Amino acid sequence: SIPLSFFGGIGLASKRGILIKGSSFIEALCEIKAVVFDKTGTLTWGRFEVSEIVPLNGFSKEEVLKYAALLESFSNHPIAVSIVKEYKDIIDKTEVKDFKEISGCGVWGKIFDKEVAVGNSKLMRQLGINLEENINLTTVYVAVNGVLAGVIKVTDSIKSSAKEVIDNLKKQNIKTFILTGDNKASAYYVADKLGIDEYYFELLPQDKVEKFNVIKNSLDGKVAFVGDGINDAPVLKLSDVGIAMGALGQDAAIEAADVVITTDEIEKVYEAIKISKYTRKIVV
């Protein structure tokens, strides 16, 4: 039978916006040896802002932004939201046909007679567009009929409590990792600022699953994954404790997770571990 105080722990956590889906996860949280974090929306706010638009190959700034905003109006990725917000004109969604979202890469669609792609270097490579990569920000490329029309630079910022959370985990001898779909420079920037042990970048959702397994097999003990839900359901399911943050409204993530944090406060991850350890102390 389940000791009563496990229910106490679950109740206490739920009052703090941490929904734990059963007492087995309280025990698992006590035995965590590593925490693997998604970057965007998890360690960072995931609220991007457009900082620069660089038109190329005869296109204008206005055209680059318009093509990007039209396509991104069909996506709810945080990068998409920032680009749509930057475009001040009215968006006529009927101008877009055959819209496709390519997970971990970007978006694609037809705007009148043109094929437009908006996304990262991976997506551009798929279209046969070569890029010189000397980037240090999250860079969004806009291609029209296979020609690079411009680059939109977007910035995101690290959550104010993230450093404290990582420091606290380290004090408990818990290793930390980043798995991100974003580029190397952005991954390094966040890992370095926070003192994260290891980071892996340019990962598609299935690559995250593979890397997570590699990390798990290299460690002796339980491994948690923390993600904001966008594309993260497979790893949330796979991990010993899958923690979905700020994921309200994201049904797939809520279903796949073992712990749901209802806000975007990263400090709740450490609080979940603390409450679990406290609860087990009472049980023992």
Q: Which residues, 192 to 231, sit near ligand ADP by CB under 6 A?
A: 230-231
Count of residues near Mg ion by CB under 5 A: 5
Query: How many whole angstroms separate alpha carbon 147 and alpha carbon 138?
Result: 20
Q: Going by C-beta distance under 8 Å and a sequence separation of 6 or more, which residues neighbour residue 233? A: 252, 253, 255, 256
Place of tokens 């690290």: 158
Residue number with CB closer to ligand ADP (105 or 224): 105
Site membership for ligand ADP, residue 75 (CB under 6 A): yes
Question: Minimum Å distance from CB 228 to ligand ADP?
Answer: 7
Spatial contact of 79 and 138, defined as CB atoms under 8 Å apart: yes
Which residue type, as a one-letter code, is found at position 204? L
Query: How many whole angstroms separate alpha carbon 27 and alpha carbon 278?
Result: 11
Site membership for ligand ADP, residue 250 (CB under 6 A): no
Q: Going by C-beta distance under 8 Å and a sequence separation of 6 or more, which residues neighbour residue 60? A: none
**Angle, in degrees to the nearest 10, between helices 4-15 and 267-283:** 160
Please state the separation of Cα 191 from the chain's center in Å: 14
Each residue 117-156 as x (binds ligand ADP by CB under 6 A) or -, in order, gives -xxx-----------------x-x----------------
Each residue 24-63 as x (binds Mg ion by CB under 5 A) or -, in order, gives --------------x-xx----------------------
The residue within the footprint of ligand ADP, chosen from 43, 80, 174, 273 (CB under 6 A), is 80
Sheet holding 96-102, edge to edge: 49-55, 147-155, 138-144, 114-119, 106-111, 96-102
Active site residue 220: no
Site membership for ligand ADP, residue 9 (CB under 6 A): no
Tokens of 208: 């995250």
Site membership for ligand ADP, residue 180 (CB under 6 A): yes
Site membership for ligand ADP, residue 159 (CB under 6 A): no
Which residue in the shown chain puts its C-beta closest to ligand ADP? 181
For Mg ion, the binding residues (CB under 5 A) are 38, 40-41, 228, 230
Catalytic residues, by residue number, are 38
For ligand ADP, the binding residues (CB under 6 A) are 38-41, 72, 75, 77, 79-80, 104-107, 118-120, 138, 140, 180-182, 230-231
